[in-house]
Structures are given as C-alpha cells and as structure tokens.
Amino acid sequence: MKKYLITGLLIWIPLAITFMVLAWIVGTLDQIILLLPRDLHPREIFGFNIPGLGVVMSVLIVFSTGLVAANVLGQKLVQIWEAMLSRIPVVKSIYYSVKQVSDTLFSSSGQAFRKALLVQYPREGSWTIAFLTGKPGGDAANHLPGEFVSVYVPTTPNPTSGFFLMMPKKDVIELDMSVDEALKYIISMGVVAPPLRKPAPVPALLD
C-alpha cells in the first residue's frame, strides 16, 4: 500500500504545484483588468469574470509596445519617455539600473545567463552550479589581479535568490549543459540530473 501511495504522490505533487504556479500567474496578470473603466470589466458586461483575460491583455500590450517601438516614431517616443524619467532623481536610478540588467539578459549578442558553470562555493572542495553574467567592471576590476569573470550562484530550490561573485577565470569550469537543464538540476536539489553527453572538442574556456 505504501508503494502505491508514494507512486500516486509522485504523480499528483508535480501536477498540483504546476497548477498552483499557473493559477498564481494568471491571477496576478488578471489584475490588469482593474485598470480598465468599471463598465468594461467582464463581470459588468457578461455577468461573470473570465479567467485568463488579463494574460491575453498583457501579451497584447507587450506585443503592441514592441511593434510600436520597432519603428522610427516609436523609438523617438521611447527616447522622449526616457528623457522625462531621467529628470526624476530616484526613478532615474531605479529605471536605468533595471533597464541595463534587462538589456544585458535579453540581448541576443550577450553572454549573461547563457552559460552554466561549475564553481567551488561556499568553500574550496564544495562544488555548485553557477551562471556566467559577464566580467567585473568599474573600480572593482582595477583591484582584481589577473583575469576574472562575474558569476551568479543561485540558491536551492529557489534560483531567483542567490549570490554574485567575482572569481578567477581559471577556477571556473564551463559545463556542457543548457541553462534550462542547469536550472532543473538546481530546483530539484540535484535529483534531476542533466543527460550525460559525449565530450567533444570545445574552444578555450569562456572565450
């Protein structure tokens, strides 16, 4: 009986957690409906709420924004908008910091979070998965002898929190696994290991 109970739990627990996460995402995005005039709310029009309508609206807003910003007029509007934000002291610092991070993460030519690494942390002899985020910059780079890389070490099972480290390039090992595979490995606390691939000739580390 214990065997069947465990088998059932292994089937239902991932499904339950998946549905809970999806329900939270849909519920959060559905709050965008509250920005509409009350007369345009689904409950006022149809007499009941429509789950997921906020998700559709969010996707349409993001798509429309990208479509407008892709042309010359849209780029000019973005420049005017950013010029306005740059005049507000606190908002300027927050906006440009977030924008710089997002531009780096989502840039097709960037390397941030596109390479999974093996590093020694929190002490020598203990190894964990990390992600390449770039190279040290600013005055910090002037105080680091030799070649260093910037890495992000996520925590388990929540990879959205973690630690930013600057490590010698020679102490970092690039792994033959995708970022998705590395994230699954971290979230599962090492239970779901990526498939083992045959070693193949690769360029020099992190070139």
What mean pLDDT, rounded, does the chain reach?
83
Name the more confident of 50 and 145: 145
DSSP character string of the chain: -HHHHHHHHHHHHHHHHHHHHHHHHHHHHGGGGGGS-GGGSHHHHHSS--TTHHHHHHHHHHHHHHHHHTSHHHHHHHHHHHHHHTTSHHHHHHHHHHHHHHHHHH-TT--TTSSEEEEE-SSTT-EEEEEEEE---HHHHHT--S-EEEEEEE-SS-TTSEEEEEEEGGG-EE-SS-HHHHHHHHHTTTSSPPPPPPP----STT-
What is the pTM (predicted TM-score) of this model? 0.57
Q: Residue 170: which pLDDT band, with cuts at 50, 70 and 90?
A: very high
CA distance 11 to 16: 9
pLDDT score for 91: 81
Q: Residue 121: which pLDDT band, with cuts at 50, 70 and 90?
A: very high
pLDDT score for 129: 94
Report, as an integer, the average pLDDT of 136-156.
92
Report, as an integer, the average pLDDT of 131-150.
91
